[in-house]
Amino acid sequence: MSVDAATVRRIAHLARIAVTDEEVPHLQGELNAMLAFVEQLGEVNVDGVEPMTSVTPMEMKKRPDVVNDGGIPDDIVRNAPATDGHFFLVPKVVE
Amino acid sequence: MTDLTSLTLAEAREGLANKSFTSLELTDAHLGAIEAARALNAFVMETPDQARAMARAIDAKIGKGHGGPLAGIPLGIKDLFATRDVRTTACSKILGNFVPTYESTVTSQLWRDGAVMLGKLNNDEFAMGSSNETSCFGPVVNPWRREGSNTALVPGGSSGGSASAVAAMLCMGATATDTGGSIRQPAAFTGTVGIKPTYGRCSRWGIVAFASSLDQAGPIARTVRDSAILMRSMAGHDPKDTTSVDRAVPDYEAAIGKSVKGMKIGIPREYRLDGMPAEIEKLWSEGAAWLKAAGAELVDVSLPHTKYALPAYYIVAPAEASSNLARYDGVRYGLRVPGRSIGEQYENTRAEGFGAEVRRRVMIGTYVLSAGYYDAYYLRAQKVRTLIKRDFEDCFAKGVHAILTPATPSAAFGVGEKGADPVEMYLNDIFTVTVNMAGLPGIAVPAGRDAQALPLGLQLIGRPFDEETLFSLGEVIEQAAGRFTPARWW
């Protein structure tokens, strides 16, 4: 399978990465090179094989559903590029 | 005092314990070495004040006789580990001047055991790379050079700063992470020892995530013993990482010098690649001969799905990365590039904040997870992963204790020499990536040199949670091959 220019733009939008028109042909070439490389997986017979979901067989631990951390709003917003008190500031979302 | 930097971690531990020198003296010697080695670009943040404060505090504790297993040992920390109040960037512009308000579990255990932090080490952006050339702080230079040449070589990646700093004696050991070979390949390129433990052995909490089902922390050090000492402090269960395993951490150092007599060592035929350089072939058979001379038994084994590990990795890892890196949106931390709407702000921020390699992998990951392609790519790759793991299980079920392979298909290459074709760069991880896909432990130990006198490494792959056997076997190789130290030019 290979991707065309429109698909490259669609993937970029899904990934929320702005791409310029000049970047598209280059990205298209690189993505197609990667897709060509992984194409060989088509040779493998995977009939009846379970997909891996956990690399180490282990039971997921459970813990009581209680609050065990918190009360640190200063820490939470410490690295924010723009804040108002303990709120993150972003451009207008709803018109 | 500069000769203090040439001690191994184990030797320094002894010198500190019998008060031949203080941690402050040892730390100062390393801070001086770091300052003199800025040409290597191994550190992206030096923390001399903090290092001296930590050294003074631990010296007081050593005086009272309770310093801890790493008391006073100066270490470098890969910039992928969150360090409280010290900038942590994953070497990406998108994290900007991010200063964590918390400490990663692995580093907190090092400080608990008395280690001293010298600073943060360079790496490929978000650990995506095999040459340390994708870092937003620029490439790291390998302290090794080809005989009679001044060409700058890469230290490998993604833990290139860790490997370069340890090889150049700027720190006694370093933390690193390995998703497809990022500890073992740079260790092989710099004549150092690097171990990626079994998935789940170390907590991933506080480590910037790349591909969560593959990422694992481990040490890079100058000897097998030093790596065993560090491993013990780094490993252990952490309730904050549900994939970390609740099992006792053994005294790995006790495995050093243990007899390997009677151990079965698998030599996998699929790792003998077409066109493999003769010197790699020679290194491999030499390593096998050393293990045999130590009493191990060599057996031919087959891992039939080996060739599919790298293509499967380049679906699984980007898929997980695209999901993990979705958090970088310019809202809560890091770089923000404004836009007319919040959507445009996301797109502008991520276009400017991510480097080319990261953008490429996030896009591939997004594609293979998108509607209509999920089954053909992602689901198939996860099935192939099951088969890769099964190959190893079959091999271990036949009584094989460990598997010996080359660590890399070549020695270190020049800065800027590779990379025009991304797939060419990916082939660096051909021998290491299988281990991540199967969640197994793997150690790279320096074993010889190529025709241009550059170090080459061998890899040993172990059964799940049997790092101890790898340390025992690694020690045999180190004893036979000797240690590898670059001539100082910087």
The enclosing domain of A21 has a CATH number of: 1.10.20
pLDDT tens for each residue of B32-86 = 999 999 999 999 999 999 999 999 999 999 988 888 999 999 999 999 999 999 9
CB spacing of A52 vs B383 below 8 angstroms: yes
Residues with Cβ within 8 Å of A71's Cβ and at least 6 positions away in sequence, in order, are none
Contact by Cβ (8 Å): B231, B443: no
Mean model confidence pLDDT for chain B: 96
CB spacing of B312 vs A41 below 8 angstroms: yes
CB spacing of A58 vs B200 below 8 angstroms: yes
Number of residues that make up chain B? 490
Contact by Cβ (8 Å): B188, B455: yes
Nearest by CB to A60, which of B242, B329, B438? B242
Q: Is B447 exposed, middle or buried (0-12, 13-18, 19+ CB in 10 A)?
A: buried
Question: Residue B148: pLDDT above 70?
Answer: yes
Q: What is the mean pLDDT of residues B440-464?
A: 98
Report yes or no: B353 at the A interface, CB cutoff 8 Å: no
Contacts of B214 in chain A (CB under 8 A): 55
Antiparallel, parallel or unpaired: β B402-406 and B297-301: unpaired
Annotated catalytic residue B78: yes
pLDDT tens track, chain A, 95 positions? 789 999 999 999 999 999 999 999 999 999 999 999 999 999 999 999 999 988 887 787 788 999 988 999 999 999 999 999 999 998 888 76
What CA dihedral angle connects B143, B147, B150 and B151, to 10 degrees?
A: -80
Closest-approach residue (CA) in chain B for A37: B311
- Is the sign of the CA dihedral A67, A72, A78, A81 positive or negative? positive
Q: Which of B137, B98, B107, B391 is nearest to B270 (CA)?
A: B391
Closest-approach residue (CA) in chain A for B321: A15
Q: Is residue A52 part of a domain?
A: no
For residue B340, count other CB atoms closer than 10 A to its CB: 10
Q: Which of B304, B265, B279, B288 is nearest to B389 (CA)?
A: B304
Q: What is the mean pLDDT of residues B99-105?
A: 98
Q: Is residue A12 part of a domain?
A: yes
Identify the band that residue B2 occupies on the pLDDT scale cut at 50, 70 and 90.
very low
Report yes or no: B369 at the A interface, CB cutoff 8 Å: no
Q: Is B406 exposed, middle or buried (0-12, 13-18, 19+ CB in 10 A)?
A: buried
Q: Is residue A67 part of a domain?
A: no
Question: Residue B397: pLDDT above 80?
Answer: yes
| pLDDT of B364 | 97
Q: Is residue A17 part of a domain?
A: yes
Q: Is A45 exposed, middle or buried (0-12, 13-18, 19+ CB in 10 A)?
A: exposed
For residue A29, give the H/E element and its range: helix A23-38
| pLDDT of B172 | 98
For residue B77, give the H/E element and its range: strand B74-78
Q: Is residue A53 part of a domain?
A: no
pTM: 0.97
Tell me the residues of chain B between 431 and 460 that have a Cβ less than 8 Å away from chain A.
438-439
Q: Is residue A85 part of a domain?
A: no
pLDDT tens for each residue of B254-309 = 999 999 999 999 999 999 988 888 999 999 999 999 999 999 999 999 999 999 99
Reduced to 3 states, what is the DSSP secondary structure of residue B106?
helix
Q: Is A77 exposed, middle or buried (0-12, 13-18, 19+ CB in 10 A)?
A: middle
For residue B189, count other CB atoms closer than 10 A to its CB: 35
Q: How many domains does chain A have?
A: 1
Residues with Cβ within 8 Å of B417's Cβ and at least 6 positions away in sequence, in order, are none
For residue B137, count other CB atoms closer than 10 A to its CB: 20
Q: Which of B477, B309, B296 is nearest to B391 (CA)?
A: B309
Phi-psi map region of B234: left, alpha, beta (phi>0 left; psi -120 to 50 alpha): alpha
Report the Cα B399 to chain-centroid distance in Å.
Answer: 28
| pLDDT of B323 | 98
| pLDDT of B419 | 76
Question: Residue B11: pLDDT above 80?
Answer: yes
User: Domains in chain B and their CATH numbers?
Assistant: 2-260 (3.90.1300.10)
What phi and psi, each to the nearest 5 degrees, are found at residue B45?
-155, 120
Q: Count of alpha carbons within 13 Å of A9, Cβ hemisphere only?
A: 7
Tell me the residues of chain B between 64 and 103 that have a Cβ less than 8 Å away from chain A.
98-99, 101-102
ipTM: 0.95
Q: And the tokens for B225?
A: 């013993």
